[in-house]
Amino acid sequence: MVISGRLYSKMMLLFFCMFSISTKAQPWLSYKLTPRGDTINRLDQQKMKQGPWVLRFETLRGEPGCEEEGYFLNDKKDGAWRRFSLMGDLIARENYKGGYRDGKQQYFTQMGDILREESYKAVDPKNPYDTIMVPDLDHPDRMLEKVIKHEAAEVKNGTWTYYSSSTGDVVKTERFVFGQLEKKGPPAIVPQRNATKDTIAKPVQKQLPKAVQDYEKTKKKGKG
């Protein structure tokens, strides 16, 4: 059958319209459905992870498996993520920015008790520089700006707290500034105002009651 030019043009136009509608109706290359009918684990047309995802890692070589749930933005973890044991126990809360840990992170024991809290700063690989304030060695009362380059995409930054797994008490705290651990020096000795060298070095003796003083004097005279 010979198709005329006009009929062929109409058929092609109809085909492209149907293809366009089909593409708009199915923006995901693949996805999964939850029991409630929500779409998760979405791959867009560029095969990039987008939206809510659930990742499962089976036990391997003695390492316990786990499940993670959170959001992807352009194939990178973004925002709040949670990690569970394969038994369903919450073992971690993490926060991401551009695929790297950023802000407060929390880790728990299998019993659900807090184990430690960490703090990170995510660094843009395209701009790994940051500005910090440091003391002026020539003028201790002044601060100077210093530009530093981060060697990693995520750096320790902020307070890290470690807890006892048995009691839940804080056992250690550390503070990091852009990957560098703040060193804690020995406590400074602050002398009292108008105190002399002798009064600082020697302990203050407790004043004895008058009756005891009289007894000591009498005792010394008896020996003499």
Structure confidence by residue, pLDDT tens digits, 113-136:
999 999 999 998 888 888 877 777
Question: For 6-18, what is the mean pLDDT?
Answer: 53
Q: 21 pLDDT exceeds 50?
A: no
Q: Which has more pLDDT, 62 or 205? A: 62
Task: Give the C-alpha separation, 90 to 83, whole Å.
Answer: 6
CB 34 within 8 A of CB 40: yes
Task: Give the C-alpha separation, 94 to 115, whole Å.
Answer: 14
Question: For 52-73, what is the mean pLDDT?
Answer: 95
At 20, is the pLDDT very low, low, confident or very high (cuts 50, 70, 90)? very low
Q: Which residue type is seen at 68?
A: E
Q: 207 pLDDT exceeds 60?
A: no
Give CA angle at 213 (212, 217), nearest 5°: 115
At 103, is the pLDDT very low, low, confident or very high (cuts 50, 70, 90)? very high
Task: Give the C-alpha separation, 129 to 114, whole Å.
Answer: 33
pTM over 0.85: no
Question: For 97-108, what is the mean pLDDT?
Answer: 97
CB 146 within 8 A of CB 125: no
Structure tokens at 183: 């060193």
Q: 163 pLDDT exceeds 80?
A: yes
Q: Which has more pLDDT, 109 or 5? A: 109
At 104, is the pLDDT very low, low, confident or very high (cuts 50, 70, 90)? very high
Q: 176 pLDDT exceeds 80?
A: yes
Domain ranges of the chain: 29-202
Query: What pLDDT is recorded for position 133?
Result: 78
Question: For 183-206, what is the mean pLDDT?
Answer: 50
User: Maximum CA pair distance of the chain?
Assistant: 145
- List, as one string, the DSSP characters of 149-195: E-SSSEEE-EEEEEE-TTT--EEEEEEEETTEEPP-PPPP--PPTT-
Question: For 75-98, what is the mean pLDDT?
Answer: 97
Query: What pLDDT is recorded for position 211?
Result: 59
Query: What pLDDT is recorded for position 22?
Result: 44
